[in-house]
Structure 1
Amino acid sequence: MSVLDFSKISKHMELGRDAEYMLRKSGQEHYANLSLKWDGKLICADTYVVLHSQVRGPAKGGIRMSGKVTLEETRRLSELMTYKCALAKIPFGGGKSGICIDPATLTPESRRALIKEYVHVFGPIINNGSYVPAPDMGTTPYDMATIYGCTHIPECVTGKPPRIGGLPGRVEATGYGVASTAKMAIEGILGKAVSDTSVVVQGFGNVGRWTANFLHEWGARVIAISDITGAVYSEGGLPVDKMMSAKTLEELDLPRISADEILTLPADVVIPAAVEDAIDANVAANIKAKVVIEAANDPTTVEGQAILAERAIPVIPDILANSGGVIASYIEWRQAKSGSLTDKSETYNAILRQLSNAYADVSDVVQQKNITHRLAAQILAVEEVVQSMFDRGWI
């Protein structure tokens, strides 16, 4: 099932039967049961690589490692990457990997062995440039270093540590992009300064913590943050800069609240930066924020989307808000192919430039058609992909 409602999109653009058929289906789907013997025990992991579309370039998308990974989830995330890259106007298609194993069950050594087995099995589509992986939930730059160590092709993987060809600023790139998009929405939709704004962030992984940190740096009052261990709250604003060294929130001596209530706290902006389907119908009906910024992939259910639209609460969708990471990945990929060097400020500037242009384009369509930001972003992304199909003679 597609992540898009093509019946809504086709009311605003000429989609065409052939283009819709190709968008509804993955271009390639690969499966393997990664198996290896380690320390006398058998390690097995159902593993999926889905390339949704390569019409605009190599399929780009991270490797997710979790005991809850499924083929359907990998398909949806791969499709989202197609539209995310198209909206940001970078020459990548959409891809995704899912390794179904709890990373907490692996030692550092067995983890490296599992990643090497992943490269051994899926090496042909990585080595030939069809698919360019990166870190995602459950994987790290060091896993990407292992992939590079197997292929010896600098541009075959992004999100590597900077010392071995990675990009300065890549670790915080997604969070920087989310925070920048939130700043645009605060100023453009709410008509406020960031320094006059209260923010709630669900999630204290890589994306959530960097989003909170940048907004805190820019003067926002980040009043609540949650993770798997619970949530912390301060009406006057949390000391985010002093929280960054903590692995989990339970390490911090700060006032605590229930994580279940974090998305419905009174605040100007709420940012789901954790998992899919966090905003369901019940949460959407009780959200008190004036704007929602989707930092996680696919964090709002279809029912939740409908209720937020009915309540006229603007939602900046994931394919716009969290594209800072893939923009940085493109810069790293281009750097690896050209041999050029990029510093952190150039990374930030490139992310801000592409996001500002995409945000302006989406805002224009919202105004012209009186539709939601989500539908506007989807229309622009699909138009870009369909036009690429025309350019390549596919339709």
Structure 2
Amino acid sequence: MVEVKPLKEGGKVGEPEGKLAVLNRVMRIPPRAIELLERAEKEMILFLNVRVDDRTVITADAFVVYHNTARGPAKGGIRFAPNLTLSEVRDLAERMTWKTALTGIPFGGGKSGIAVDPKSLTPYAKREIMREFVHLIRSELVTGSYIPAPDLGTGPREMAVIYGELHIPECVTGKPVAVGGVPGRREATGRGVATAARLAAQRMLGKEISECTVAIQGFGNVGSWTARFLSSMGAKVVAISDSKGGAFDGDGLDVEELSKHKAETGSVVGFAEEISNEELLSLDVDILIPAAVEGVLREGNAGDVRAKLIVEGANGPTTPEGDEILRERGIPVIPDILANSGGVIASYIEWRSAKSGSITSASEVYGTIDERIKLAFERMAKLSEERGISYRDAAMAIAVGEVVRAMEERGWI
């Protein structure tokens, strides 16, 4: 039985590092559950050796982690990154456990990755690497123990390679629509972030999203679709940045024109008044959405944040130290495990459709994302208000409670 209790004064937050020690001051977690949740359920370290032509052999470390599968098969994307480590994959797998539990999706938490630079690979080399990876973890995929999806450095084309090797529609999500993917999957994470921002503006700021100014750090898949959806909802998106810099217009940016500018030039820089990524984080706006990389809101700059609300579009954009500063300053943070869960919700829809053979429309995907995020948001906000704890602690308490209940019902604890 998991019982939530008020957070003791001075209790520090930070998800996922140190989270269970913190949550043990927020809720009572059975000792056996803590033992199981503090370590990964399964980890695989692989070595890829792929010949891509007569002169080139690519070698790389690869990792697969299942954090917890009490609620269902391990779900999580395949990341390609040059400096990828087992520790990073382990962290991301754990976040997937909490995302799926918080939103009520019947999956567990998993993740995989290959330590290669995707920008250095030809399409053919990337395909051959994926084929070899499928060969090495074939049994995990065929049995449905692990259900991958796109992540940084991978996309629908790589998921189509997995399907092409196995010919099992439900073995992978994030596929192109032409080979069993669902419309709306590509923009799903951004849809979820925008929905979370809309709900948070109404509840935390007492405003409609159409009355809000927004700054978004990051203009990749998540940031760009978040900007599009928020703009369509009437929000005034005044600043957007990418890795090269940012663009600012106090009257609001034309997101569609900005997208065309980036497609033509490779960056948002030059579209409007230029600002740096650090300057964007300290803009006086209603909502700040860090949707690029982890650790951008930290001890050194959290005190400079002037936004009234933060919605985490990226995984782990706020360090524990930064989170503590924001909490002390009374700036609410909607955590990543809720805000960017739209992707895994859409993945569930695709997986379900693949198993049943049903046809799904983009509007149905959007509707399910909105519904699941709204339900999770309301549970989180209610618990936060009732117990006097942060939104991050409330979200984690709900997620951990769901996983613990599943472990109890399966006889694990």
Q: What is the TM-score with the length of structure 1 in the denominator?
A: 0.98
After superposition, what is the alpha-carbon deviation per residue over 1:284-335, rounded to whole angstroms, capped at 9, x for unaligned?
1111100000010111111111111111110000001011110000000000
Q: Does 1:339 align with 2:357?
A: yes
Letter in 2 for 1:299: P
- Alpha-carbon distance, 1:194 to partner: 1.2
Letter in 2 for 1:389: M
After superposition, what is the alpha-carbon deviation per residue over 1:198-251, rounded to whole angstroms, capped at 9, x for unaligned?
100010110000001100111111111111121111111110022234343247
2:186 alignment partner, one of 162, 165, 171 = 171
Q: Does 1:225 align with 2:240?
A: yes
Q: Does 1:10 align with 2:24?
A: yes
> 2:97, 2:106 → 1: CA distance?
10
2:60 alignment partner, one of 21, 25, 45 = 45
Contact 2:215 2:288 in 1 (8 A): yes
RMSD: 1.3
After superposition, what is the alpha-carbon deviation per residue over 1:124-146, rounded to whole angstroms, capped at 9, x for unaligned?
11111011000011111111011
- Alpha-carbon distance, 1:4 to partner: 4.5
1:146 alignment partner, one of 151, 161, 179 = 161
> 1:8, 1:32 → 2: CA distance?
33
Contact 2:52 2:124 in 1 (8 A): no
> 2:167, 2:221 → 1: CA distance?
27
The residue number in structure 2 matching 1:19 is: 33
The residue number in structure 1 matching 2:3 is: none
> 1:205-216 counterparts in 2 under 5 A?
205-216=220-231
Q: What is the TM-score with the length of structure 2 in the denominator?
A: 0.93
> 1:252, 1:337 → 2: CA distance?
47
**Cα distance change on mapping 1:128 and 1:360 into 2, 3 Å:** same
Name the SS of the counterpart of 1:244 in structure 2.
Answer: helix
In structure 1, runs of 5+ residues without a counterpart are none
Contact 1:47 1:97 in 2 (8 A): yes
Contact 1:3 1:80 in 2 (8 A): no
The residue number in structure 2 matching 1:87 is: 102
> 1:230, 1:354 → 2: CA distance?
34
The residue number in structure 1 matching 2:267 is: 249
Letter in 1 for 2:47: N
The residue number in structure 2 matching 1:28 is: 42
> 2:342, 2:140 → 1: CA distance?
25
2:329 alignment partner, one of 311, 322, 332 = 311
Name the SS of the counterpart of 1:110 in structure 2.
Answer: helix
- Alpha-carbon distance, 1:114 to partner: 0.6
Contact 2:298 2:319 in 1 (8 A): yes
- Alpha-carbon distance, 1:3 to partner: 3.0
- Alpha-carbon distance, 1:176 to partner: 0.3
In structure 2, runs of 5+ residues without a counterpart are 1-14
Q: Does 1:127 align with 2:145?
A: no
Contact 2:247 2:269 in 1 (8 A): no
Letter in 2 for 1:36: V
> 1:106, 1:359 → 2: CA distance?
40
Number of matched pairs: 395
Name the SS of the counterpart of 1:26 in structure 2.
Answer: coil
Letter in 2 for 1:76: D
Letter in 1 for 2:287: V
> 1:222, 1:200 → 2: CA distance?
6
Name the SS of the counterpart of 1:33 in structure 2.
Answer: strand
Q: Does 1:278 align with 2:296?
A: yes
After superposition, what is the alpha-carbon deviation per residue over 1:21-46, rounded to whole angstroms, capped at 9, x for unaligned?
00001011011121112231221121
Name the SS of the counterpart of 2:80 in structure 1.
Answer: strand
**Cα distance change on mapping 1:242 and 1:250 into 2, 3 Å:** closer
The residue number in structure 2 matching 1:77 is: 92
Shifted more, 223-232 versus 242-251: the winner is 242-251
> 2:202, 2:111 → 1: CA distance?
33
